[in-house]
Structure 1
Amino acid sequence: MDVTRKKRDMLKMYYGHSQEALQDQGAATADPCNINGAHFEPDIYLGKLLKERSLGELMDKETEMVRHIKALDSDMQTLVYENYNKFISATDTIRKMKNDFRKMEDEMDHLATNMAAITEFSGTISNTLQDRRQQITKLAGVHTLLKKLQFLFELPTRLKKCIEMEAYSQAVRYYTKSRKVLHQYQHMPSFQGIQADCQLHVDALREKLRSKFHDKNSCPKELAECVDLLLQLNEPAETLCQDFLSQSVHSSALQPSEHTDILEFVDCGCNGFLSNVCLVIASYNDLFLNRQQDDEQLDAIALKKLVSFVNDLMELYFGYVQRRVLLEKETGDNTILVRALDRFHRRLQAMNKLLPDTDFSRAGTEIVSRAARDRVSHYLHSLQQHYADCLTDIRQNLAAPRMLARPDGNPLSDLLQGLNSSLLDQMKSVLSNLQAFIASDITFAMKPYFRGLFCVQDVRQGLVVAFLEHINAVCIEFCEAPSDKGAVPPALLLILSRLCLDLEQSTISYLLTLVDEQFMLDSSSVVTPASVLTAAARDTAQRLLNHYVRVQGLTISQMLRKSVETRDWLNTIEPRNVRAVMKRVVEDITAMDIQVGQLYEEGIRKERSSDSTKRSLSTVRPSAPTRTNWSYTPSTLDNSLMSNIQKLFSERIEIFSGVEFSKVSVLTGIIKISLKTFLECVRLRTFGRYGMQQIQVDTHYLQLYLWRFVSDENLVHFLLDEIVGSTLHRCLDPVTMETSVVELICERG
């Protein structure tokens, strides 16, 4: 019974039914009516069905159970067939493994027998030759050591004999062969003597080889051989290159001189120095490369030495060329410089064909690129200096007596036009000169690594964009300049503001289009977009115009502040005339209106509120007052509460807000600042009756003239109402003057 249960459990584990799952399933199937449980009782189950089910349900249940029985029978047959096939396959595999292992066991036995025979035979040989082997090894070592010692003891004599016979290559070969051994045993006294004697002969050999550099009859092959031998003797390559350079190249061809034409300098270097270098390369190839065709390793070493040697020479030559090219930085014409650089670049390309492992044309192009960048930098500095000179000329013209008061012409517009034309002409001239670097007959101009960087980074970005940014930076400095560095003329701020606005509207687009066409820039180039430059120019123009408004507003405000603070308003006499400062204010604002009108359009004005005063502004003379419907009546004093309520719902006036690019907007900003200063000064004083009436006369006079300068006359009305109202509140005896009397005084004044 236990054996049967154990087999059943093993089968259940094989088919995935663990003991825990069986226990849980047994607990769940303890019901005797559960047909799938271990405690199923057929009689109880059948009695339950007969009691609970009808005849039709019993027949359906029977059909279902028959179907399940057939399905289980089919599954059992399939399982038996599958297991039978697996058992047959396992039996075949075991039978085959037995055969394979039997054959392998026979082979291993045969191998073990062979190995035992070999081991026995090897042991016999070792025992026979053991004594003789030790003697042979010892004698061979002694013989080798004696040969080395004999060579070392004879080394000084051999070196001396080779030097006397001028067999320098053999002497160097002897020494380099034994140098490592001498260094290894230098602590032994006998070897110290040998090394000292050898060092004396090697020093003499170095002097003999170096004397070849000063021999005018030495050919390039002999010089190349001497360089190679000295390099094997651990001579510094830099010193050898310098000595070889002094012998192979004429000093006159390598010395940059301010008195030597750049074209002559390049021709001398190409025909002298570079020709000699080519001869040296050819000789070196014959001596060290062409004779070692069968040994690739030696060829590689020799070629590496040659490349290193030539690279050092060319680096020195490039340094001289760069220094000479720098002397051309301040010259005005590019034609000779470009021709010289083109010849220099062409000759370097020929050297690349002679020595394929080098790329001197790339280094030459870098020198050409640096020369081009220096030219661009020089032109940028010249443009900046020209811009500074133009600003100085404008300041001198503005400082001339009665320059801005000329009745004929538009002086500010003429200055602006002259500045624009001068800057454009200079830029066109510079771009025309720089086109010499990309001419079609110039070899380096066709190289993409030169042309792309030169046209995009140097010309467009480094010159045009940098100069436009410099203009903006200088203009911003005028806005941020401290007062201790001197006042900036307001008219200059106005001109520069219009200049930046013209840059934003047309000049920047024109210059960028011009440089793109002349230097053939494609759309894929990464450059500063025009929108960024125009936005910066417009922002600068706005800042300059805002600064102009503040400066001019401050000038008018200073006059009004002093006129209020220096007068005794309690003990003044009855007003008989308009104060002179008010006339000065109107005159100055009129002059500002003329200045701004020369550079900016009129702008949009709001329609006048009174039909009696609607007239063309061009028909009103600046010196003639205009009647308006504005007056500050005494009833305003009694109606102060209603006035304050109206102020709550009126639009707030921004005194220091930005202005638009129009004449009325600029003058409105100046007048707002001036009248706001006048209002704040009035609020700090105490007035008598006649002082208050004088303020009433002055404000009426200002109204007669200032309304025509602003975009909305209601703004002037509001600020003047505030001034008069504040005066009434600060007055000890607030009795206003009749409107007709005020008008009569203002007209007579």
Structure 2
Amino acid sequence: MSSVLDVTKPDFDVEAFVVKLLREKSLDGLVKEEEEMVSAVRRLDSDVHQIVYENYNKFLTATNTVRKIQDEFTQLDSEMKSLSRSMSTISTLIGNLDGVLGEKRDDILQLGSSYKVVNSLKHIFDLPHVLRSEFDERNYGEVLRMFKLAEESLSQYKDVPTVQLVLQKSKKIYDMTENQLMDQLRNPASGAELVSEAVDLLLTIGRDEDEVQKVLLTCSEQSLRVDLKELSANHSDVLDLVDKASESFIPNLTLIATTHDRLFEDKREDLITVLKTEMNSLHALVSKVFLSSSDAKDCSIVVRALDRYFRKISTCRYVIPGLDFLPLTIELINAVSKHEIDLSLTRIKEELKNGLNEVRKALINEEKDLSALASKIEQVFVHQVKTALANLLLFTASDVTFANLPPDEFRQSFSFNAHERLLVQAFHRFSELADEYESGAGEIRFVDPRVHLVFAVALQHLSNKSAVYLLNLCREQFSLSPDDGLTDITVVMSEVKTRAQKLVRCYAEKTGLSMGETLIKGCAMLVQPAATPSAVRASVRRLVEEMNTCDSELTLLLGGDSKPKDSRSSSNHNCSRCRQRFIVV
């Protein structure tokens, strides 16, 4: 039954199909079915037209092809007939010629043989010219090959003066070629391909192997030294130096080793001796540039350059067996990391000095917000330490190859140095700076006493919070634990607090001396005949005003009550209260 309703089957029943549609579909469905059938009919009609058109084109093309083949066969038939006539004519002529020359056949054969001999002699006499032409075109291998062949062929005729002259001229060009190959081998500017060609040809003609090898090593040594000289004279920074070494010196080194191993495999010890000497020179140059870096801001460039150098040296170890500079490179990595730590430490101290100088200038300009100045000093220290730690983290980044070395070769000592050599020493340098201000040596001798107070408050705040934060941050970033022999946090905090107390004591002493001098000057007037009690009262009043100003500053900076109950007690014990407030804070 399904085949009767399938329009693609031969037994399709139109009436049954229509009845089925009327029974199953609504009016809209019938309209849609009609539209689909009309669309299908149009599409089939278009396909039929397209097929007819394509078949017609194929028919026309086939007709043209048949006509063309027919024309070509006609032309070929004509040419074959012409060829047949020509062959008949040639056959007739050969028959006639055989009858004419038959009696002189032996003479003709002898004449042909004589022509070949004359032609060979002509090539022999042209040999010097040919060799010279090949020499001028730098085809040295062809010169040597041709001379050797000619020498073997003409050796039996060397007594003939003409042949002897040809051999002399050719031998002169041969010697020139051999000397040119030796010069090419000795020239440091010759590329690896030219050197390899020269060695192959010299060994082919029987030149002494030891002599050739010695010249090759000398040439290689000179070439590497030229590269080193160029590297030493032309580099903008350490990254540029490593990049240029990776593009010139190290590839040249590899080519020299490959060429020598191919030609003189049994004399490798001499090669390794030369390469080690030149690699030591390169390593010394690279180390010098790495360790001459003077700006901690260039740490990212230094790490990138160090990583590239490490990768190149690691590759050389596998490409050139016996040339292992990896241990020296690891020593360099550790030395450079310590150098960068020292640079960061120096920068921290310089920034602290700059910050304190700015505080001094602000106090000269009557800056009243001492708390902000103290916070500024603390922030300078914290910011510089965090920046330094962030720079050092570049040494242990995941994309840095040498960061994956065994921990005992780099990471373990580096992390310890980051904590002890940088962070703990940064606190020591901060404390040493506090000692300098306490001692008052040089220009610091005449600074405003309030600088000591601001410095002391900054140290106190640092010991209360920031010191613990920085120490824990460092231990977390570099995966350190107390079992690694680290300086205890309490030791660092105690050192900072001690310096803070010394500075506030120094502030109290200098402020007290200053106020005492004011009072002494007022009392000294009493010994003068014209002195009056009002002048003394004015001096005492100024002293009280200064102490009240000092008390206000301390109150803003350290907190507390700014209105003392007893003005006389406040005047007598203001400086001691300053120290007591600081200790409480």
Q: TM-score range by the shorter chain?
A: 0.5 to 0.7
| Corresponding position: 1:218 with 2:195 | yes
Deviations 1:666-692 (A, max 9, x none): 9xxxxxxxxxxxxxxxxxxxxxxxxxx
3-state SS of the aligned residue for 1:419? helix
Deviations 1:572-598 (A, max 9, x none): 77x679711111121111112122223
Aligned residue in 2 for 1:567: 526
Instruction: Report the RMSD for the aligned CA atoms in angstroms.
Output: 4.3
1:107-256 matched pairs, under 5 angstroms:
212-214=185-187, 216=190, 217-219=194-196, 222=199, 229=210, 242-246=221-225, 249=227, 252=230, 254-255=231-232
| Corresponding position: 1:393 with 2:358 | yes
3-state SS of the aligned residue for 1:430? helix
CA–CA separation in structure 2 for the residues paired with 1:241 and 1:444? 30
Please point out which of 455, 463, 468 is paired with 2:422: 463
Cα distance, 1:557–1:287 mapped onto 2, change above 3 Å: same
Matching residue's letter, 1:366 = E
Cα distance, 1:279–1:592 mapped onto 2, change above 3 Å: same
Matching residue's letter, 1:440 = S
Provide the TM-score with structure 1 as the length reference. Answer: 0.46
Aligned residue in 2 for 1:528: 487
Aligned residue in 2 for 1:195: none
Q: CA deviation at 1:412?
A: 0.6
CA–CA separation in structure 2 for the residues paired with 1:487 and 1:423? 24
CA–CA separation in structure 1 for the residues paired with 2:273 and 2:185? 21
CA–CA separation in structure 2 for the residues paired with 1:397 and 1:391? 10
Cα distance, 1:329–1:370 mapped onto 2, change above 3 Å: farther
Tell whether the 8 Å contact from 2:522 to 2:535 is kept in structure 1 after alignment: no
Tell whether the 8 Å contact from 2:186 to 2:219 is kept in structure 1 after alignment: no
Which structure is larger by alpha-carbon Rg, 1 or 2? 1
Cα distance, 1:546–1:230 mapped onto 2, change above 3 Å: farther
CA–CA separation in structure 2 for the residues paired with 1:333 and 1:227? 53
Q: CA deviation at 1:487?
A: 0.9
Tell whether the 8 Å contact from 1:221 to 1:287 is kept in structure 2 after alignment: no
CA–CA separation in structure 1 for the residues paired with 2:472 and 2:281? 42
Tell whether the 8 Å contact from 1:494 to 1:596 is kept in structure 2 after alignment: no
Deviations 1:521-569 (A, max 9, x none): 2434333332322221121112111111110111122122223333228
Please point out which of 569, 578, 581 is paired with 1:662: 581
Aligned residue in 1 for 2:65: none
Q: CA deviation at 1:396?
A: 0.8
| Corresponding position: 1:475 with 2:434 | yes
CA–CA separation in structure 2 for the residues paired with 1:503 and 1:580? 42
Q: CA deviation at 1:496?
A: 0.9
Tell whether the 8 Å contact from 2:558 to 2:582 is kept in structure 1 after alignment: yes
1:564-713 matched pairs, under 5 angstroms:
564-568=523-527, 579-602=537-560, 660-662=579-581
| Corresponding position: 1:272 with 2:248 | yes
Tell whether the 8 Å contact from 2:452 to 2:503 is kept in structure 1 after alignment: yes
Tell whether the 8 Å contact from 2:452 to 2:504 is kept in structure 1 after alignment: yes
Aligned residue in 1 for 2:399: 441
Matching residue's letter, 1:494 = L
Tell whether the 8 Å contact from 1:383 to 1:427 is kept in structure 2 after alignment: yes
CA–CA separation in structure 2 for the residues paired with 1:242 and 1:360? 18
| Corresponding position: 1:491 with 2:445 | no
Aligned residue in 1 for 2:412: 452
Tell whether the 8 Å contact from 1:221 to 1:284 is kept in structure 2 after alignment: no
Deviations 1:689-737 (A, max 9, x none): xxxxxxxxxxxxxxxxxxxxxxxxxxxxxxxxxxxxxxxxxxxxxxxxx
3-state SS of the aligned residue for 1:567? helix
3-state SS of the aligned residue for 2:331? helix
Gaps of 5+ in 2: 1-143, 145-179
| Corresponding position: 1:413 with 2:371 | yes
Cα distance, 1:428–1:230 mapped onto 2, change above 3 Å: farther
CA–CA separation in structure 2 for the residues paired with 1:483 and 1:530? 33
Please point out which of 315, 322, 339 is paired with 1:374: 339
Cα distance, 1:229–1:338 mapped onto 2, change above 3 Å: same
Sequence identity percentage: 23
Tell whether the 8 Å contact from 1:338 to 1:436 is kept in structure 2 after alignment: yes
CA–CA separation in structure 2 for the residues paired with 1:582 and 1:368? 67
Tell whether the 8 Å contact from 1:266 to 1:343 is kept in structure 2 after alignment: yes
Q: CA deviation at 1:242?
A: 4.3
Q: CA deviation at 1:420?
A: 1.7
Cα distance, 1:451–1:329 mapped onto 2, change above 3 Å: farther
CA–CA separation in structure 2 for the residues paired with 1:601 and 1:387? 26
Aligned residue in 2 for 1:282: 258
Please point out which of 504, 509, 522 is paired with 1:545: 504
Gaps of 5+ in 1: 1-165, 167-206, 292-301, 405-410, 603-616, 629-652, 667-749
CA–CA separation in structure 2 for the residues paired with 1:358 and 1:661? 68
Provide the TM-score with structure 2 as the length reference. Answer: 0.58
1:2-151 matched pairs, under 5 angstroms:
none
CA–CA separation in structure 2 for the residues paired with 1:327 and 1:476? 30
CA–CA separation in structure 2 for the residues paired with 1:663 and 1:328? 42
Cα distance, 1:222–1:551 mapped onto 2, change above 3 Å: farther
1:295-444 matched pairs, under 5 angstroms:
302=267, 304-325=269-290, 329-330=294-295, 332-401=297-366, 403-404=367-368, 411-444=369-402
Tell whether the 8 Å contact from 1:601 to 1:663 is kept in structure 2 after alignment: no
3-state SS of the aligned residue for 2:309? helix
Deviations 1:270-290 (A, max 9, x none): 24322222233334444555x
Matching residue's letter, 2:413 = L
| Corresponding position: 1:513 with 2:472 | yes
CA–CA separation in structure 2 for the residues paired with 1:221 and 1:552? 88
Which piece of structure 1 moves more, 364-373 or 548-557?
364-373
Aligned residue in 1 for 2:162: none
Cα distance, 1:262–1:508 mapped onto 2, change above 3 Å: same
Q: CA deviation at 1:232?
A: 11
CA–CA separation in structure 2 for the residues paired with 1:329 and 1:546? 38
Count of aligned positions = 396
Q: CA deviation at 1:477?
A: 0.7
Tell whether the 8 Å contact from 1:383 to 1:426 is kept in structure 2 after alignment: yes
Cα distance, 1:276–1:227 mapped onto 2, change above 3 Å: farther
Aligned residue in 2 for 1:694: none
3-state SS of the aligned residue for 2:410? helix
